[in-house]
Structures are given as C-alpha cells and as structure tokens.
Chain A
C-alpha cells in the first residue's frame, strides 16, 4: 500500500515569490494534516482536515498561507508571498481514527528554502 506522497521534495525560491506543495494521503484516511518543522524540533500543526472540512486552522498564518482539500482526498498548501522565515520542512500526514486511536502517517516532507 502506498504511503503519504508529497511533492516536490525540495524547493528553493526567492522571497516574495509564491510556492505550492502537494500531498496525496493514504487511501481511505479521512484526516489530513499539514505541519511545519524546523530543524531538530517537533512538527507544528498548520491545518487539519476532516474529509474536505478544515477543522483546525488556528495556527495557519492566513495572511500568506492557504490550503485546500477540495474532494476530501489530496491537498495543496500555498504560500504567497514567501518570507525568509518560511524556510522549513513542510510535512503532510494522514490518519484514520479507530476508537480512541488516531495514528498519523507522514510523507517525506518538502524542504523549502527561501533566499
């Protein structure tokens, strides 16, 4: 079974430019997460979807970040315009809750460098 697929793996852009990341979750997983991770630290949640509904986007910087999951399957995360401080690894994860258990599975991430 295919895992969570993210693209691109790496992206280098100049500040003020737009950038987009794509994620295809594990088939059948209704919950999709976007996290941002700085080097050597834990992931920080940007947005969480339950099917196509964004149920938690309190940490998403809405002035420049946007996300969508139109058909409740794959998702895109966009930054426009990018700032130097946006350099990080952007991780996508998906999960399927069974009872009290929600185990998230991650993609390999997209490493963004803003110069």
Chain B
C-alpha cells in the first residue's frame, strides 16, 4: 500500500493548458515537499509546505497543503514545454513517527507538447 498516492500517474497536455496534480494520504504529515525531476538528474526541490491550508506560489505553479495536512495539490497555469518532467511529492514525519522520515509518492509524469 502506497503511503502517498499521486494522481494522475501520467499527464499529456498541450502548451497553454492548465493542470493539477494531486497527492493524497490517510496520514498526517508535519510538512510536504514537491520536487521536479528531469531525465538523468536528481529531483529538484520546488517548495516545502508546513501549515495546514498553506498556499505557495512559484511563478505559474501554485502549491496547496490540505487543512488536515494529509493532502496537497500542485496547479500549473499555462503549461509550457519546459514544465515537462516527473513531479514528486514527499511527506515528512507521517503520523508523527519521525522527523526527517521522507516518504515519496510514485510520481506524475507530465509531458507538455508545443
């Protein structure tokens, strides 16, 4: 059973479209992070959210942490081909087990066509 469920697993869209990626769990996390990974590279941290209900914006990317700190979403406005990659969410300290215990979702592969 995956602790963090990401959806959709695959997303193929045209340039200019909007999209949302979801990260859901039955566990409460102390913080949640989103990463983007390109082929042949390690994941690159995009944002960390800590407070329930928190919303953070990074240019065309909007991240939201659920009120109960069990879920998160990533919304991209007007997607561009450069947004193509594997998007990963990772939760820390699930259920209060241990700070620094990062658990990853299975990822969402996003392809943005010109």
Residues of A within 8 A of B (CB): 4, 31, 33, 35, 40-45, 48, 50, 55-56, 91, 93, 95, 97, 99-109, 111
Contacts and interface: CB of A to CB of B under 8 A. Distances in A.
B44 to A, nearest CB: 7
A41 B30 contact: no
Contacts of B109: 40
Contacts of A41: 106-107
Contacts of B13: none
Interface residues of B, number: 29
A91 B100 contact: no
A101 B88 contact: no
A101 B48 contact: yes
A43 B31 contact: no
Nearest to A106: B42
